[in-house]
Structure 1
Amino acid sequence: MTEPDIPVIRTERLTLRAPKISDFEAYAAFRASERTAHVGGPMDRETAFDSFSALIGHWSLRGFGRWIVADSRSDAPLGYVGPYFPEDWPEPEIAWTVFAGAEGRGVAFEAAQAARAYAYGTLGWTTAISLTTPGNARSMALAQRMGCVREGEFAHQSMGPLLVWRHPGPDAPNPETPL
């Protein structure tokens, strides 16, 4: 079996790592919830498995992708984050999603900062965007907290209008430290 080389990144509280089958139950539960309306859901278990598998496939096809965000102590999955560039996106994105139990604890901010540092430092990106749906207040607030500036809209074929947030470049000062 050929596996993509997915690096592990550790932050103060988190481990960004390759998805593993034991993460699927948390992923499927999240993808079945109404909370996923902003990220293409909800979806049934079979479709969630295809989506979960695509997390690894993206690494194989693009050489980068989204990690599972896990608690460093327990290894419990808290969400997924990372550089993302599907075929129908306008340009590479820093994407973030956290599961319900991880909201409000600075997990998405800490993980997204690590993902952006990887995209700039390791992948050599000089710019990045993040896309949010207009009604996703938490995601828009995170984009602003990360120093992003709203740049316009992108009309996605199936998700509808998405707001484009431009990240500060790799030489810009880092925003506040994680909570």
Structure 2
Amino acid sequence: MSLPASVPVIETEDLILRGYCERDFDAFADFAASDRSRFVGGPQQRYESWRSFMAGIGHWTLRGYGMWMLEHRSTGQAAGRVGVIYNDGWHEPELGWHIYDGYEGKGYAYQACRAARRHAAEHLGMNSIMSYINPSNTRSLRLAERLGCWHERDVELLGQPCQLWRHPTEEGC
């Protein structure tokens, strides 16, 4: 089973941004159990990962937007997640990304973020969205700079220091 058709499908050169399917869970849980997830609430046990996976689906249902699963076009495998989330206690909606092991360093996060950012501007009225980035997450900081973002201010998120990075407005939106 997969999410209802209300989750828009977006295609880039290398990726399909789509709703969650149960077959994506193993890759999701592997990422969540790894040290690479430390900047996004991990590492997590498999049971906690299931709750997070289901929360991602629920976000689409409650808010009408959320994180897309990234499917690599040539392999058909889950390559990560990108999307807009707005959790309780956050300052405003955030464009976030998680790229799974083996898919980083290939420009996929950049492609997916650009597509998700454009969708947020065109369909959700969220132009000049922000991203939370842990100041120790050098890979995400580099991606934010490549996306044209700037460090707007230091904030606290879930009791931890964090940086709020602002995305540029999308042309024509």
Instruction: Tell me if both proteins adopt one fold, taking TM over 0.5 as the criterion.
Output: yes
Q: Deviations over 1:158-178 (max 9, x none)?
A: 4x0111000001238xxxxxx
TM-score between both structures, scaled by the size of structure 1: 0.91
**What residue number does 1:55 align with?**
56
- TM-score norm. by structure 2 comes to 0.94
What is the letter of the counterpart of residue 36 of structure 1?
Answer: S
Partners of 1:13 and 1:155 in 2: CA distance: 35
Q: For 2:98 and 2:158, locate their aligned partners in 1 and report how far apart those are by CA, in whole Å.
A: 21
TM alignment of 1:57-72, pairs within 5 A: 57-72=58-73
Contact 1:4 1:59 in 2 (8 A): no
Q: Deviations over 1:65-121 (max 9, x none)?
A: 000011112220000001111112111111111011111000100001000010001
Is the CA contact (8 Å cut-off) linking 1:154 and 1:164 kept in structure 2? Answer: yes
Q: Which amino acid aligns with 2:63?
A: R
1:4 shift after superposition: 6.8
Deviations 1:125-171 (A, max 9, x none): 1320011111000000000000001001121124x011100000123
Does the aligned pair in 2 maintain the 1:28–1:48 contact within 8 Å? Answer: yes
Could you tell me whether the CA contact under 8 Å between 1:4 and 1:60 is conserved in 2?
no
Partners of 1:119 and 1:125 within 8 A in 2:
yes
Per the alignment, residue 140 of structure 1 pairs with: 141
| Unmatched segments (≥5 aa) in structure 2 | none
Distance 1:4 1:62 in 2: 15
Provide the C-alpha distance between the structure 2 equivalents of 1:129 and 1:52, rounded to a whole number of angstroms.
23
Please name the residue that 1:122 is paired with.
123
C-alpha distance in 1 between matches for 2:18 and 2:158: 30
Equivalent position of 1:7 in the other structure: 8
Q: 1:76-91 residue pairs with structure 2 within 5 A?
A: 76-91=77-92
Look up the match of 1:152: 153
**Residues of 2 paired with 1:131 and 1:157: CA distance?**
11
Q: 1:86 to 1:139 in 2, by over 3 A?
A: same
**Distance apart, 1:6 and its partner CA:** 0.5
Q: Which runs of 4 or more aligned residues in structure 1 lie more than 3 Å from their structure 2 counterparts after TM superposition?
A: none
Instruction: Give the 3 Å change call, closer, same or farther, for CA 63–96 of structure 1 in structure 2.
Output: same
CA RMSD of aligned residues (A): 1.4
Aligned to 2:104: 103
Distance 1:94 1:156 in 2: 15
Q: Which runs of 5+ in 1 are unaligned?
A: 173-179
Q: Distance in 1 between matches of 2:16 and 2:62?
A: 23
